[in-house]
Amino acid sequence: MKLMVNHQTHYRYTQQVSNSIQSIKMMPQDDAHQQVQVWDMSVPGQYTLKKDAFHNLWITSTQRYAYHHLTIMAQGIIQIDPTQDIANHSTALHPYIFLQPTTMTECSREMLAFAYEHVKIKDRVHLQRLAEAVLCHIPYIPQATNVHTSAIDVFKNHENGGVCQDHSHVFIAMCRAMGLPARYVSGYLYAPEMTHLASHAWTEVYLEQTWYCFDISNQCFSPNAHIYVAVGRDYYDVAPVRGVREQGGVESMSSIVQVLAC
């Protein structure tokens, strides 16, 4: 299946920005699951390209001029195999690295007890049951949280709902607490019924020497509609855009993502 992606991120400021630097992770790579046929980035200022500790492609962009708005764009065509049950997307890192807890993926006693209610055996079937229970416990509600909401906070306030980032953090926290390596994945999802999406997040868990997909928000357990961009321990390792600036007043951000079959 061939998919076209158009990802635009727009920043506006109430005052003039003097200097800024951006960390951008919006570049998919070739692997057994996907082949990048075309991918172009529009990045303001000067930039360098390298790989981070998780082998994600990483652009550092520097703007040493005054501006009131900033736009970062990525677009391209990716070929994926929708019949594959696993992605085989490897970082070449030891899986135990993904047992490391982070501030976003700490697990409370209540969360661990919840996990063991549904995972009697640490296998793929029982983890899928846990994934279903997490979505029932934390309903998908757009804009219910923000990028700084931790797994413990969203689980505690579950009636307020959450988004794919929250479902991933909660699931990762539970898996790691049970001794299962789990990692956060950022990328894109092809959903034919929707033309405008936010960039997507899901989880992979290491079982039987294989990384398996757990898309809690969509209850999808194979990556047959997913484009991988970056993997890490949590959102902060794979955030599409992060940055710092001088001045600028109040910042507002809007993002548009289109994933279409072609």
pLDDT tens track for 176-190:
999 999 999 999 999
Q: According to the model, what pLDDT value does residue 32 have?
A: 86
Please indicate, yes or no, whether residues 229 and 143 belong to a single structural domain of this protein.
yes
pLDDT at 171 over 80: yes
Please indicate, yes or no, whether residues 59 and 119 belong to a single structural domain of this protein.
no
Please indicate, yes or no, whether residues 54 and 152 belong to a single structural domain of this protein.
no
Q: According to the model, what pLDDT value does residue 198 have?
A: 65
Please indicate, yes or no, whether residues 101 and 227 belong to a single structural domain of this protein.
yes
What is the band of 193 on the pLDDT scale with cuts at 50, 70, 90?
A: confident
Q: What is the pLDDT of residues 21-70, one digit of tens each?
A: 999 999 999 988 999 999 999 999 999 999 999 999 999 999 999 999 99
| Residue 255, strand partner residues | 9
Counted domains in the chain: 2
What is the band of 199 on the pLDDT scale with cuts at 50, 70, 90?
A: confident
CATH assignment of the domain containing 193: 3.10.620.30
178 within domain boundaries: yes
What is the residue range of 121's domain?
95-238
pLDDT at 234 over 60: yes
126 within domain boundaries: yes
C-beta separation of 7 from 51 below 8 A: no
Q: According to the model, what pLDDT value does residue 77 have?
A: 98
pLDDT at 75 over 90: yes
User: Position 241: which residue type?
Assistant: V
Q: What is the pLDDT of residues 104-125, one digit of tens each?
A: 999 999 999 999 999 999 999 9
Q: According to the model, what pLDDT value does residue 85 have?
A: 79
pLDDT at 196 over 60: no
Average pLDDT over residues 78-94: 80
Q: According to the model, what pLDDT value does residue 189 have?
A: 94
Average pLDDT over residues 160-174: 96
Please indicate, yes or no, whether residues 108 and 233 belong to a single structural domain of this protein.
yes
Please indicate, yes or no, whether residues 136 and 217 belong to a single structural domain of this protein.
yes
